């Protein structure tokens, strides 16, 4: 199978469409991301960010891992299918008749037994296959080993045809140097137009067949399949970048809203030991020290944080000696 001028034209057209769609998607995604980031920074998404982080804390980590595994498996299957289709394409282009090759059936000429082909019923030939089946053809045996009703692949006018040998004509006055083989599809009413020589044959079918797999392979071999693979690669590259950018922005906004870091607060053991060694003496501990201020200083100095801590101390009771407003306030004269 070779690429015709039409196939090359379609391939170039698909590449132009891919470049155009990629440029359009880049512009749209960039605009949407910038618009969403602006909403986050202005506080329009605060409620959604809070509820999202609450759901994340309650979400089962097993589900996250399962979703990641399924995504990886799907990507691997598509990549393997694409590589497999390339292998089959190169195998079908190989003109060596001695190499076993996987081939996709591209017609229904061997799908059923035509009722007027009596040789099929007389010899119980029920080894038919349908369009889009995947078959394996072995290397050609010696010419004298070919038998009547063998199914072979032959080339004519740069096309590969797989039909059954229904007649063998030995060398005679018309063709003294070679045998002629007449082939016919099981579903066809007549013999192929021209006889086939041994040199035209590219393989013999050994009975191996996988139904309906060829439809996926033919799609992957088409320009539309190449375009699909390129779009998937583009999505696989851009999606993690966009998600990380949005996640970092929402994480920073959540930190500003709550005054706490999204990471757990973990004291540094060495700092804790140092604080214990430098603890105040009994006389120093008798001094009046604000508990809230002491705790805030300890957390700020000795905790491993990536964001500053916002500490607010509120007085719930006025000091006894504090001046009162009104008549008892001292005058400035």
Distance CA 318, CA 9 (A): 86
Architecture of domain 101-215: Roll (2.30)
Contact (Cβ atoms closer than 8 angstroms) between residue 120 and residue 177: no
Which residue has better confidence, 329 or 142? 142
Distance CA 212, CA 207 (A): 16
Res 109 pLDDT > 90: yes
Residues facing residue 104 across a β-bridge? 134
3-state secondary structure of 40: helix
The closest of 54, 32, 74, 18 to 257, measured between CA atoms, is 54
* Tens-digit pLDDT profile for residues 15-40: 787 788 888 888 888 888 888 888 88
* pLDDT at residue 313 in the model: 45
16, 18, 22, 24 alpha-carbon torsion, rounded to 10°: 60
Q: How far is CA 21 from CA 17, 135, 200, 230, 246, in A?
A: 6, 37, 44, 11, 23
3-state secondary structure of 8: helix
* pLDDT at residue 274 in the model: 64
3-state secondary structure of 130: coil
* Tens-digit pLDDT profile for residues 57-108: 666 667 667 777 887 787 788 778 778 877 887 777 766 777 888 888 989 9
Structure confidence at residue 227 as a pLDDT band (50, 70, 90): confident
* Tens-digit pLDDT profile for residues 140-196: 999 989 999 999 999 988 888 999 999 999 988 888 889 999 999 999 999 998 999
Res 266 pLDDT > 60: no
3-state secondary structure of 329: coil
121-131 exposure pattern, b = at least 16 Cβ within 10 A, e = fewer = eeeeeeebbbb
* pLDDT at residue 315 in the model: 46
Q: Which helix (H) or strand (E) holds 139?
A: none
Non-local (6+) Cβ contacts of 185 within 8 A are 107, 109, 110, 163, 164, 192
Res 322 pLDDT > 60: no
3-state secondary structure of 36: helix
Residues facing residue 156 across a β-bridge? 159
Non-local (6+) Cβ contacts of 229 within 8 A are 78, 82, 220
Distance CA 126, CA 119 (A): 11
Taking the domains of the chain in order of start, what are their residue ranges? 5-93+222-257, 101-215, 261-304
* pLDDT at residue 181 in the model: 95
Structure confidence at residue 265 as a pLDDT band (50, 70, 90): very low
* Tens-digit pLDDT profile for residues 277-310: 666 666 665 554 445 445 555 555 544 444 444 5
The rounded Cα 221 to chain-centroid distance in angstroms is 17
Distance CA 29, CA 310 (A): 36
Biggest CA–CA distance in the chain, Å, is 143
Residue located via tokens 């930190």: 255
* pLDDT at residue 176 in the model: 87
Q: What predicted TM-score, i.e. pTM, was given to this entire model?
A: 0.57
The size of the chain, in residues, is 333
Residues facing residue 180 across a β-bridge? 169
């Amino acid at each position: 199978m070779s690429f015709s001028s039409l196939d090359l034209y379609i391939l170039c057209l698909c590449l132009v469409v891919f470049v155009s769609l990629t440029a359009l998607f880049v512009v749209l995604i960039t605009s949407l991301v910038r618009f969403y980031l602006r909403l986050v920074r202005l506080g329009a998404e605060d409620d959604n960010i809070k509820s999202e982080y609450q759901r994340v804390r309650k979400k089962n980590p097993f589900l996250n891992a399962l979703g990641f595994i399924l995504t990886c498996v799907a990507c691997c299957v598509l990549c393997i299918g694409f590589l497999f289709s390339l292998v089959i394409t190169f195998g079908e282009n190989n003109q060596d008749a001695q190499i076993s090759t996987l081939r996709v059936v591209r017609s229904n000429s061997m799908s059923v037994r035509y009722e007027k082909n009596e040789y099929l019923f007389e010899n119980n030939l029920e080894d038919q296959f349908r369009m889009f089946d995947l078959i394996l053809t072995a290397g050609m045996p010696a010419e004298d080993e070919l038998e009547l009703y063998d199914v072979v692949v032959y080339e004519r006018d740069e096309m590969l045809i797989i039909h059954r040998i229904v007649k063998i004509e030995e060398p005679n006055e018309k063709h003294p140097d070679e045998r002629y083989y007449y082939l016919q599809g099981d579903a066809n009413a007549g013999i192929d137009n021209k006889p086939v020589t041994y040199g035209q044959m590219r393989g013999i079918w050994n009975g191996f067949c996988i139904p309906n797999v060829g439809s996926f392979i033919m799609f992957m071999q088409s320009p539309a399949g190449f375009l699909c693979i390129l779009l998937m690669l583009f999505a696989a590259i851009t999606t993690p970048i966009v998600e990380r950018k949005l996640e970092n922005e929402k994480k920073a906004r959540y930190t500003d809203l709550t005054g706490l870091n999204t990471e757990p607060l973990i004291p540094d053991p060495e700092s804790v030991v140092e604080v214990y060694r430098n603890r105040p003496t009994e006389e120093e501990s008798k001094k009046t020290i604000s508990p809230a201020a002491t705790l805030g200083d300890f957390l700020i100095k000795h905790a491993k944080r990536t964001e500053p801590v916002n500490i607010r101390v509120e007085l719930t009771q006025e000091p006894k000696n504090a001046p009162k407003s009104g008549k008892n306030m001292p005058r400035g004269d």
